[in-house]
Amino acid sequence: KTGDYTPGGLTLLACGALAREILAITSQFPDGMVDLTCLPASWHNHPEKIVPGLARKVASLRRKGRQIAVIYGDCGTGGEIDAFLEREGLTRIPGPHCYEMFLGTAEFDAEMEDQIGTFFLTDYMVRHFERIVMQGMGLRAYPQLRDMYFGNYTRALYIAQTDDEGLRQKARRAADELGLTYDYRFTGYGAFPDFVADAITASTSQTSQQKQRR
């Protein structure tokens, strides 16, 4: 659920590219137990916007009395997200980026050792490949940029959150567009369900302790 803030409840503060997956997880919990608010996924192309955006959201949520857990990787900020969260006393899901969060560290490392030139595709990336990659990176207008951006890549690895034949076909076409071999792994939601469950447990415990002190 999004936007219905109750003092003392938990808000997950996340990247918009993960909204669909997080909502699928939070929908399994009772209404009012957890909420989601997101920053624009497009900020991956403008990482300098992420920490100021997080700061505004955190300040707003704290004014509303919300508990906060953060679902972000480093996202090209060079450690600035972690430095900000440390100053604020907040925690985030472990991992430098969502690919590792979905695959798990051991499997991610194994995939990179197998083929270091791997371009990862998630469900979100596959759904919005034309807008994010072909249009957003200028490849549709300037095909010659393909070698500049992807010349060191050898394969596109689709790490799928859902079992969707339509998305698999789109991912294969995306690999073809980039001139890369195609590979597929089903990951489901990876580390996200456990992180959300643990955050809810911690929030519930903290809220209970606060009530007892009143």
Which pLDDT band, with edges at 50, 70 and 90, does 204 fall under? confident
**Average of pLDDT values for 93-102?**
96
Task: Tell me the percentage of the chain whose pLDDT exceeds 70.
Answer: 93
The pLDDT score that the predictor gives to residue 7 is 56
Residues 117 and 75 in one domain: no
Residues 148 and 172 in one domain: yes
- What token pair was written down for 44? 């991956």
Compute the distance between CA of residue 63 and CA of residue 38 in angstroms, rounded to an integer. Answer: 17
Compute the distance between CA of residue 74 and CA of residue 97 in angstroms, rounded to an integer. Answer: 6
CATH code at 38?
Answer: 3.40.50
Number of domains in the chain: 2
Task: Tell me the percentage of the chain whose pLDDT exceeds 90.
Answer: 89
Residues 104 and 180 in one domain: yes
- Enclosing domain of residue 165: 98-186
- pLDDT tens for 109-128 read 999 999 999 999 999 999 99
Residues 209 and 154 in one domain: no
Q: Which of 25, 20, 26, 24 is nearest to 38 (CA)?
A: 20
Is 29 contained in some domain?
yes
Residues 196 and 172 in one domain: no
Residues 35 and 23 in one domain: yes
**Average of pLDDT values for 175-204?**
97
Residues 141 and 204 in one domain: no
Residues 82 and 159 in one domain: no
Is 2 contained in some domain?
no
- In order, the DSSP letters of 27-84 are TTSPTTSEEEEEE-GGGGG-GGGHHHHHHHHHHHHHHTT-EEEEE---TTSTTHHHHH
